[in-house]
Structure 1
Amino acid sequence: MFLKKVVTSTVALGLLTVSVFNNTGLVKADAVEDTQKEIANNKSETDKLLKDIAAANADNIKLQQQISDNTTKIDNLKTDIDNSNKKIKELNGQIESAKVEVNDRTDALKSQLVALQKQAGNTVSGNVYLDFVINSKDFSDLVTRTFTVGKLNQANKEALAAVKEAKDQYASLLDQQEQTKANLQADKTELETKQNDLKEMKAKSDQQQADLNKKIEDNRATLVALQTQYEEAANAVKLAQEKVNVTTTNAESKSENKTSEKASEKANTDSNNNGNSIAKQESVTTDTAISQGDGGSHPVVAGNTYPWGQCTWYVKQVAPWAGNNWGNGGQWGSSAAAAGFRVDHTPAAGAIVVFVPGQSVGGQWTADGAYGHVAYVESVNGGSITISQGGMGFSNPAGPNTQTVSNAGSYIYIHR
């Protein structure tokens, strides 16, 4: 009869506890669970946005490089065009000089004709050269005059031919140079058109990154609100549980008072029947907390809850300001942004660099496709960064393992 009453009281107490908790806590618990799911979804979406930003930033860097290369080509073409203009000016000068020389040679020939005219006297045939020969005094004079006329004709012919040839060469070179200049100008125009297209593409890329960053900021604001909502719901559940505990304690107290007398009688009876009973004790062992990383045991370092031998553990060691609940390496960007840290693509010594899952690490190896990777930036040199890191893939899992990687602007950075 006593056992029946005890069981009845226990069942009644349990029903009371369930009833109280159902009325005050289950709805709150559901709210906590729903909020946790929303927080997880928010972080997942932020991770995706960070990957999108990394991809957009990589494209942006390529566009900027193309614009820079194009600018260099345009500048070189401008220099070539300037040189071509100088050459054209020089050739025009040489052609003008040849024209002057032709005129001078012609004037000289006229002077020679006038001189011969004076020596020949009155013309007989109408040809100055022929009259000069006809009017010779004797055979010897005829030979001399014929030789003189031949020499003058040959000299004038060769001189004029040479000048004309030079003039023709200059004109040909000028045509070639004009064509070269036209080709250079066409190439320059084409590059300038391409340059405008590249700048438009980069402007769109900049806007895309700005939009993605805006979404991340919106996500962070939403996450803050969700975390506040979660804390409120969790506190409500805690208060409901405390009320249940108080109700349970009161019910147990009443039940104990009602059955105390018979319980005492029952205890006396049990004592007589079980004088040789043995008290049971729980054995509690207190081992030192350890973290498994390389298959061995390693003491947990105060303030660092990440597994020993992982990249996250190393970075937390060298950058204690990093959070303890930021997840895998590839998730650190979104977690840090949600925690209020500045996250961007600007490398800086002392920052944490994030490699999203599957991202190339300076073209030397690839971050894990599921977990990503994090490292600590030791220094920055132009477009390269020197990092220190840990991880089971290195000879020294606990770090530091140093490496210099290029394309610094394509990675995500967390700044203190």
Structure 2
Amino acid sequence: MKKRILSAMMLSTVVLSAGASTAISTVHADTDSDIAAQDAKISQAKSESAKAQGQVDTIQGQVDSLQAKQASNKATLEKLQKESADTSKEITKLAGSIKERNGSLEAQARSAQTNGTATNLLSAVLDSSSLTDAIQRVTAMTTVANANKSMLDQQKKDQEDMQAKLKANQAKYSEATKLQESMAAQAQELNTQQAQLKVAQLNYQASITTAQDKKQSILDAKAQAEAAAKAAAAAQAAQEKAQADAQAKADELAKAAQAQQQQTAAVAQTPASSTSQDNNSSSSQTTGNTTPTPAPTPGTSGSNPYPWGQCTWGVWQILGGNMPTYSGNAADWVAYANSGLAVGTIAVFPPGVDGAGGFGHVGVVTSVSGNSFTVSESNFNGGLGIISSRTIPSTAGVSFIRP
């Protein structure tokens, strides 16, 4: 990039020198020798204009290539957002099934303890009024035990599926973030190339202009275009430095993030239930300890684990790191919902709700008025890393997490 800018500036200097030389000469020649000299300068200007036109064509090709890349990246980003939104819906459905199944198992356990129905198999047989009654009792107890075991097995499978989908969505989220950063860099490069294109076009115009007044106005415009090109190049350099700093910080946190994922996977693999048979009393009992959604690990204000500038990064910054580390995209945080609307909670917006994108959105509730509330958020108004506030008129479709 720097070489292209330097080449453009050098060519601008050559053409400008040729134009300046032409401007110094008198347009109206009094003698044949003056006319011949002017014709020679005009011929030289035409030669320089051909070189400038070649530069125009080259830079235009680079601009067209960057625009094509932007269009392709935009299509890829939209595809990733759609896939992530679909996966988030599946995660939400699994979380609901797990919660409902937990309630059913807890209700059965409370019923057994309260009503004293957890009798052993021998008592069921001895208390029977007939052989038929005994068979019916034993069959009923076996059916309940088998049903509970199936329910607990399904609970374990859903837990593992949800963890797998969370991991897959996190990968899509990281890929989309890198794609957004790439598109931002391409946009900055496109601005620089377009600024250089304008300089080259003005160079071309200046090289074929012979009238002094028009030559001066074009040279003034060319100077402004060169200043804009330098400013665009400086802005691009600043952006590249910011991205390099962000990447260095991300690399520093990569090991911590990997350890967190391994811990979450280990919790997901813990058996969700156990079924035991008491041989001494010949009783059949089913006990289950369901594993809830893995508890997020506490964080520290000095190490933000989320992609720089995103809404999840903003929540961490706003709370000063006084929050656990939640897995998945913003929309996936619905699995950790544990509160109603309150100041200090994290608002979770599914895709499409109150302006949330394909990966969902999160923000911190800073004030509440009835069902209306105000959130502080990042990457909503102003782009990556910009923290802003807005008021949401209703809690419809929004979940809340008490960190």
Task: Give your verdict on TM over 0.5.
Answer: no
Instruction: Report TM bin, short chain.
Output: 0.3 to 0.5
Larger Rg belongs to: 1
For normalisation by structure 2, the TM-score amounts to 0.43
